[in-house]
Amino acid sequence: MNKQGLELIVITGLSGAGRTQAMQSLEDQGFFCVDNLPPTFLVKFAELCAQSRGKVSKAAIVCDLRGGEFFSSLSEALNNLEKEGFRLEVLFLDASDETLIRRYKESRRRHPLSPQGRVLDGIQAERQQLEELRIRADNIIDTTNLSAQQLRSQVAELFCKTQGLGQMAVSVISFGFKYGIPMDADLVMDVRFLPNPFYVEALRPFTGEHESVREYVFGNQMAREFMEKYLDLLEYILPNYIKEGKTHLVIGIGCTGGQHRSVAIAERVGSFLIERDYSIRVTHRDATKNQKRGKTR
């Protein structure tokens, strides 16, 4: 039985947060996937995969509240898997209450923990039940601002072992503090101390991806010194995260509205890490929100 040769991923998280899309992404990568497997069968399932003589080397299991009373035994089942010598990763999918409520309304489905009541009550009860699993998760993805395709892409990037010369995947996200810190951020850098292009009328409509905005941001000596120190810090700490077994790191770069400074800094960080062979994904969560609302900040 080749237990160490089996790559095993357990997908869990809040109802409506995107478990199905995550599983489909792993299926596309050649994982053997099982949806809604009762946790009591996890060890047996893993043993059958390990005994398949290499026919099943990658497997993913979705475990969620649809398992009813069986779901409460998931933490115990995960502990048993580790005791039996299997290597596994737990992927936890999360999203804001507002996003989950909207998705339930669009799908017209009832929440499993509140079939006759308010969706919000079910979401809050589910959060309490899943808190222990969220704490022990190896990877957490906040799907609040992700489309289905973006989620599938992020999962593929997270578990595709051929990218980045075996390095962990790094997501660099620019954001605006006025819209909240990304829920899944591991590291958060506040760059609101830098001069703000918002107060230059000619630059106000653009984002930090525009050359003139970048020149303004990095034309400041303080910004250049900050970048040098911050990139040195990242170059030092990222290899140590890898040594500790981390497979996905989310770096959040925030300014007031997420349009100018954070975008320019995030792009520079992404370029720096690409040069060092990390698997990088740079996204600008809030860069166009102010423009859509008829405001700029």
In the annotated binding site for GTP, the residues are 64-67
The beta strands (E) that lie in 84-219 are given as 88-94, 139-142, 169-176, 187-190
**How far apart are alpha carbons 247 and 214 in whole angstroms?**
31
Q: Which amino acid is at 37?
A: L
Phi, psi angle pair for 36, to nearest 5°: 60, 45
In degrees, to the nearest 5, what angle opens at C-alpha 287 toward C-alphas 284 and 288?
130
* Numbered residues of the known binding site for ATP: 13-20
* Numbered residues of the known binding site: 13-20, 64-67
**How far apart are alpha carbons 263 and 261 in whole angstroms?**
5
Q: Which amino acid is at 28?
A: D
Smallest CA-to-CA distance from 280 within 246, 245, 255, 251 is with: 251
**How far apart are alpha carbons 72 and 90 in whole angstroms?**
16
Which secondary structure element, helix H or strand E, spans residue 24, and what is its range? helix 19-28
- Measured CA to CA in angstroms, residue 98 lies from 101, 123, 292 at distances of 5, 10, 20
Structure tokens at 114: 């509140």
Q: Which amino acid is at 25?
A: S
Provide CB contacts within 8 A for 166, sequence distance 6+: none
